[in-house]
């Protein structure tokens, strides 16, 4: 489904005068500080975040799953849903596919469909964390690290297939996240597991087209409860460093133990040019995958402060990172949840753009932590919502995406088209 542009405009018109007032006020406040809001609006319009195909359906837990209605049952439906998010937010201009859940039958038709929604294909994701029905050997005891070379070969072959599908669609990167690890002390030889994983990744790296990047994602625990082969950013960076120039670490916010200083990890990886990708979500206890910014918005801002610093640093050769939301929703309408995540990401980005970097650096050089905090919090406490709304308005999106989604009865329409009981593939 697509929303009639005129309808979005009609909804926007109802809130236009209020928006003009808020945006005018913010423009004047920021203008007095020497900040040109038009520059910020342009940067916000450019900032696009990929939506993964698996976030469009209702997720669940190991205890159960309560699906909503009108979920996307096919790859075409998933693309259409990201298209809706992009139409409303003008911030979700890419989709990230997961193979084998999203194998395209007709590559050309899928490419054309995505293009018609203004979407590109971001990083493709492989899956060796579960067995597929037609699979010969099991990943129960690991994939790229497995003791049996035949299992490792099968997992490498799968990754090469994922690259082939991604290449056909115009993707330029592969994200590898491994569940490989052990659940009991003594189960795994840590050194052999690392070496085997490295060798397998080397084969995958060698099989990538020359303009592709490989992202190595890390996670401290789960599904294994004692050890994970790629447990942290240090291990991920060691692998990426050994693999070569086109291999990078990928930071997923939820893949850290509680209270980890993620902003410092981001700064360090960007300093050495090795931060390739970023997965957004929020968490309280573990890899909770809840809505971005719903629990720790200040931490998200501090992370964005380092991301912006890294992106603006002329001495850094870090590539522009691939942004993706990696979350799931077991209670909310997934599309509403994704709109909230997109908003939270861009709020943090906009606030980070407001940081007076010269003044901050001066405070640091003068050992003035109180002033440094004042500078950061002045940016964080600025209400930049009207800035985001203006960027959307200028790009033909909705002033308030969730309000528009509800007023235009999008979910009701999706249920009418697809039915109450469609289960999204892959979940």
Q: What is the DSSP letter of 207?
A: T
Strand 227-228 and strand 181-182: the pairing is antiparallel
Whose Cβ is closer to Mn ion: residue 55's or residue 204's?
A: 55
Distance spanning both ends of the chain, measured CA to CA: 22
Site for Mn ion in 222-261 (CB under 5 A): 252
The DSSP secondary structure of 53-89, one letter per residue, reads GGGSS--EETTEE---SS---SHHHHHHHHHHHHHHH
Q: How far is the CB of 85 from Mn ion (least distance, A)?
A: 18
The helix (run of H) or strand (run of E) holding residue 301 is: helix 297-312
Whose Cβ is closer to Mn ion: residue 81's or residue 252's?
A: 252
Q: How far is the CB of 394 from Mn ion (least distance, A)?
A: 31
CB 187 within 8 A of CB 224: no
Whose Cβ is closer to Mn ion: residue 279's or residue 346's?
A: 279
Task: State the binding string over 319-348 for Mn ion (x if CB under 5 A, else -).
Answer: -------x----------------------
Site for Mn ion in 62-81 (CB under 5 A): none
Nearest to 16 by CA among 342, 410, 351, 404: 404
Whose Cβ is closer to Mn ion: residue 11's or residue 123's?
A: 123
In this chain, which stretch among 98-106, 143-151, 153-161, 275-283 interacts with Mn ion, using CB under 5 A? 275-283
In this chain, which stretch among 156-164, 188-196, 277-285, 310-318 interacts with Mn ion, using CB under 5 A? 277-285
Q: How far is the CB of 289 from Mn ion (least distance, A)?
A: 9
Strand 64-65 and strand 60-61: the pairing is antiparallel
Q: How far apart are CA 70 and CA 57, in angstroms?
A: 9
In this chain, which stretch among 7-15, 72-80, 221-229, 274-282 interacts with Mn ion, using CB under 5 A? 274-282
The yes or no reply on residue 306 touching Mn ion (CB under 5 A) is no
The helix (run of H) or strand (run of E) holding residue 94 is: strand 94-96
Task: State the binding string over 27-46 for Mn ion (x if CB under 5 A, else -).
Answer: --------------------
CB 349 within 8 A of CB 47: yes
Whose Cβ is closer to Mn ion: residue 177's or residue 405's?
A: 177
Nearest to 54 by CA among 3, 102, 111: 102
CB 50 within 8 A of CB 277: no
Whose Cβ is closer to Mn ion: residue 326's or residue 390's?
A: 326
In this chain, which stretch among 183-191, 231-239, 270-278, 279-287 interacts with Mn ion, using CB under 5 A? 279-287
Q: How far is the CB of 364 from Mn ion (least distance, A)?
A: 32
| Number of residues binding to Mn ion, judged by CB under 5 A | 3
Q: How far is the CB of 344 from Mn ion (least distance, A)?
A: 17
Whose Cβ is closer to Mn ion: residue 52's or residue 68's?
A: 52
Measured torsion, CA atoms of residues 234, 240, 241, 244, in degrees rounded to the nearest 10: 180
Q: Tokens for 15? A: 């809130």
Q: How far apart are CA 155 and CA 204, in angstroms?
A: 10
Whose Cβ is closer to Mn ion: residue 72's or residue 277's?
A: 277
CB 327 within 8 A of CB 341: yes
In this chain, which stretch among 118-126, 230-238, 318-326, 367-375 interacts with Mn ion, using CB under 5 A? 318-326
Q: How far is the CB of 50 from Mn ion (least distance, A)?
A: 11
The yes or no reply on residue 279 touching Mn ion (CB under 5 A) is yes
Whose Cβ is closer to Mn ion: residue 281's or residue 382's?
A: 281
SS (H, E, C) 215-268: EEECCCCCCCCCEECCCCHHHHHHHHHHHCCCEEEEEECCCCCCCCCHHHHHHH
Q: How far is the CB of 176 from Mn ion (least distance, A)?
A: 11
Q: How far is the CB of 123 from Mn ion (least distance, A)?
A: 10
Q: How far is the CB of 296 from Mn ion (least distance, A)?
A: 17
Whose Cβ is closer to Mn ion: residue 215's or residue 380's?
A: 215
Residues that bind Mn ion (CB under 5 A): 252, 279, 326
């Amino acid at each position: 489904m697509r929303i009639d542009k005129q309808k979005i405009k009609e909804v926007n018109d109802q809130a236009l005068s209020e928006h003009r007032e808020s945006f005018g006020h913010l423009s004047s406040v920021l203008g007095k500080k020497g900040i040109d809001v038009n520059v910020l609006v342009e940067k916000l319009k450019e900032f696009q975040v990929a939506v993964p195909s698996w976030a469009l359906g209702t997720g669940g837990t190991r205890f159960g799953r309560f699906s909503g209605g009108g979920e996307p049952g096919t790859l075409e439906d998933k693309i259409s849903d990201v298209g809706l998010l992009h139409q409303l937010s003008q911030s979700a201009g890419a989709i990230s596919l997961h193979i084998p859940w999203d194998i395209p039958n007709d590559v050309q038709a899928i490419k054309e469909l995505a293009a018609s929604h203004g979407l590109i294909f971001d990083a493709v994701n492989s899956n060796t964390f579960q067995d597929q029905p037609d699979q010969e050997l099991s990943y129960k005891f690991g994939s790229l690290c497995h003791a049996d070379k035949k299992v490792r070969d099968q997992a490498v072959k799968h990754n090469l297939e994922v690259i082939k599908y991604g290449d056909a669609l115009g993707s330029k990167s592969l994200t590898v996240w491994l569940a490989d690890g052990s659940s009991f002390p003594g189960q795994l030889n840590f050194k052999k597991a690392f070496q085997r994983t490295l060798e397998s990744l080397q084969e995958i790296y060698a099989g990538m087209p020359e303009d592709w990047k490989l992202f190595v994602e890390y996670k401290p625990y789960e599904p294994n409860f004692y050890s994970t082969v790629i447990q942290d950013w240090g291990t991920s960076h060691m692998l990426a460093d050994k693999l070569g120039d086109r291999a990078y670490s990928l930071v997923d916010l939820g893949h850290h133990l509680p209270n980890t200083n993620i902003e410092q990890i981001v700064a360090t990886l960007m300093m050495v040019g090795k931060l390739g990708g970023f997965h957004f979500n929020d968490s309280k206890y573990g890899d909770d995958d809840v809505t971005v910014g719903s629990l720790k918005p200040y931490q998200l801002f501090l992370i964005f402060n380092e991301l912006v610093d890294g992106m603006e640093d002329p001495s850094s050769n870090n590539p522009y990172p691939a942004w993706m939301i990696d979350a799931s929703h077991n209670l909310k309408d997934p599309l509403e949840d994704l709109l909230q995540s997109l908003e939270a990401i861009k709020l943090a980005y906009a606030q980070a753009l407001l940081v007076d970097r010269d003044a901050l650096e001066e405070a640091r050089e003068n050992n003035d932590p109180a002033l440094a905090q004042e500078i950061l919090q002045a940016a964080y406490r600025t209400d930049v919502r009207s800035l985001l709304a203006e960027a959307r308005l200028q790009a033909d999106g909705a002033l308030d995406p969730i309000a528009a989604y509800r007023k235009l009865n999008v979910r009701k329409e999706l249920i009418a088209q697809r039915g109450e009981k469609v289960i999204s593939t892959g979940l």
